[in-house]
Amino acid sequence: MPELQLLIFTVIGLALLFDFINGFHDTANAIATSVSTRALHPSHAIIMAAFLNFLGAMYSTGVAKTIGADIVKSAQHVDEHVIIAALMGAVIWNLITWWFAVPSSSSHALVGGVIGAVLVSVGSDGLNFYGIGKIVLSLIASPIIAIVTGCLVMTLLFRIFGRFSPSAINGKFKKMQILSAAMMAFSHGSNDAQKSMGIITLALLSGGYIDVFEVPTYVKVLAATAMACGTAVGGWRIIKTIGGKIFKLEPISGFAADLNSSIVIFSATLLHLPVSTTHVVSGSIMGVGTAKRVNAVRWGVAQQMVTAWVLTIPCTAVMGAVAYQFVLWIFR
């Protein structure tokens, strides 16, 4: 029992660390556009994002249930060693991509880490391939949808406000960006924080601390707080990449990107589907840029990001598998 308690506490600690890193790794998702257009002062943007991340994280637990229940066939196929290894793989990948200022998906990292650790521990029989397919499909489809809808939203705004002077329009949309950034921060928290909630709840279920997969209130508060604290630290490396290196944003295009991203992400939350907020925001910016002019988007930067997206699940699966052997050695 003491060893099991130690493992459970280790899982909770790593899951909250993952949420904290997710907060500062993905801060750019919520505020990069408004900071890059100077609609919000960076410190004000981070405080607002941290607060709304917390509120969003408390909103529901549907995504948490998808993450906790759809990757593996049952809690019997997962023990604390597997979950610790999965979290270690995801945390290491997030830190590597943050260091090199590459926007990548924390969702992909977590899913890949779980897959790798389960494959090494119990083999492919422990994986729910239907559930994994549903998760991967939502992760792949969401940025494509964001590109298309982002282009449509920006085209619509051009048609409505095209006759006005750029200076008049940008002045108005700087104020509107505060609202769209707030929506983006809330939707980010509503989807991303639930991934750690799902992992912690899965550990509690496999350890016998709870009888059914229902996220306890204290788990929601802990995960929401960890993400909010991480967001408050800020992630300036990735903010620069998303805010300025994909497409030169103006207030109207920044508003369009944030509005579109928040709608796509929150729609996924309502459907209990995990999506990558990084992918969605980047896709929205690409779509908005394409509406203005295809060659206005720096497709070289976009290609580097897509490469990181493709590599995330296989790389974190390997990391999760290696971490599992390390965890067994540590806790043998």
User: 210 exposed, middle or buried (CB, 10 Å; 0-12, 13-18, 19+)?
Assistant: middle
Domain count, the chain: 1
- Measure the CA–CA gap between 162 and 108, rounded to whole angstroms: 39
User: Could you tell me the pTM of the whole model?
Assistant: 0.82
DSSP 242: I
18-189-19 Cα angle (round to 5):
10
Is residue 244 within 8 Å of residue 36, measured between CB atoms?
yes
**Hey, CA dihedral for 264, 268, 269, 275, is it positive or negative?**
negative
Residue 89: domain span: 2-330
pLDDT, position 267: 92
Q: Which helix or strand (DSSP H or E) is residue 68 part of?
A: helix 62-70
- Measure the CA–CA gap between 240 and 199, rounded to whole angstroms: 31
141-163 as b/e, with b when 16 or more CB fall inside 10 Å? Answer: ebbebbbebbbebbbebeeeeee
pLDDT, position 148: 94
pLDDT, position 104: 72
pLDDT, position 51: 86
Backbone angles phi, psi at 28, to 5 degrees: -55, -30
pLDDT, position 318: 93
**Hey, CA dihedral for 247, 264, 198, 49, is it positive or negative?**
positive
Is residue 277 within 8 Å of residue 296, measured between CB atoms?
no
- Measure the CA–CA gap between 204 and 44, rounded to whole angstroms: 37
pLDDT tens by residue, the chain, 332 residues: 566 678 888 888 998 988 888 777 666 666 777 777 777 777 787 788 888 888 888 887 778 777 777 788 876 767 888 889 989 998 898 888 777 767 677 778 888 998 999 999 888 888 888 888 888 888 788 888 999 999 999 999 988 887 777 777 877 888 888 888 889 889 888 887 777 888 888 888 877 788 888 888 888 889 888 888 887 776 555 555 554 555 577 888 888 988 999 999 999 989 888 888 878 888 888 888 888 777 767 666 667 667 777 788 889 999 999 999 998 888 76
Task: Identify the bridge partners of residue 186 per DSSP, sorted by sequence position.
Answer: none
- Measure the CA–CA gap between 161 and 63, rounded to whole angstroms: 37
